[in-house]
Homo-oligomer: A and B are copies of this chain.
Amino acid sequence: MTGEPALRDGVTLVLGGARSGKSGFAERLVAGSGLDPVYVATAQIFDEEMRERIVHHRALRGAEWRLVEEHDALESVLLREAIAGQAVLVDCLTLWVTNLMLAEADIRARSFALLDALGACAGPVVLVANEVGLGIVPDNKMARDFRDHAGRLNQEIAAHADTVHFLAAGLPLTLKG
């Protein structure tokens, strides 16, 4: 993919909608870095449909990737894995927010803890996140709360990040960096 952006130091946020190509773009960023790639999967597998999506994504990545599954303690995983010589991809922040909501965790406190952890990382981190606020207001309160939590975290990570890309139809638009 000639002309695509290269991985930069620090924190990169890759934002996009469903099927925007954000995970594939983030994977190419990390894989092209020459660093050892670590894939941090935040998905909890609840049903066959989700399992299929995950298996499909895994098959698209190469064998050089190390897989870490962590649906909750993302902060400590980042501190442990984002070290010199490694590049960490977190896919995705929005599922992590979903997990925190399901676990009735204190999302504000955990968001601050995540920002602290990102500030302490020694290697580059790429975070994939969904933009979910561009449709009609959802009918139910839980979906509206989710939209608030996910959007607020995206803003905080974007403010902290060194680089922010927005993906549409697989094409990146650099919003920051």
Contacts and interface: CB of A to CB of B under 8 A. Distances in A.
A132 B158 CA distance: 22
Given A18-B137, A133-B17, A151-B17, A164 B171 contact: yes
Given A20-B133, A133-B20, A136-B146, A173 B173 contact: yes
Copies in the complex: 3
Contacts of A152: 19
Nearest to A143: B136
Contact of A175 (B17, B132, B164, B171): B171
Contacts of A137: 18, 132
Contact of A176 (B20, B143, B171): B171
A12 interface: no
A37 to B, nearest CB: 22
Interface centre among A21, A169, A176 (most CB of B within 10 A): A169
A171 B164 CA distance: 9
A135 B15 CA distance: 13
From DSSP, what is the main secondary structure of chain A's interface residues? mixed
A131 interface: yes
A107 interface: no
A141 B49 contact: yes
Nearest to A164: B171
A146 B19 CA distance: 11
Contacts of A171: 158, 164, 175-176
Nearest to A19: B151
7 tightest Cβ-Cβ pairs between the two chains A and B: A135-B135, A19-B151, A17-B133, A18-B133, A134-B134, A158-B169, A17-B134
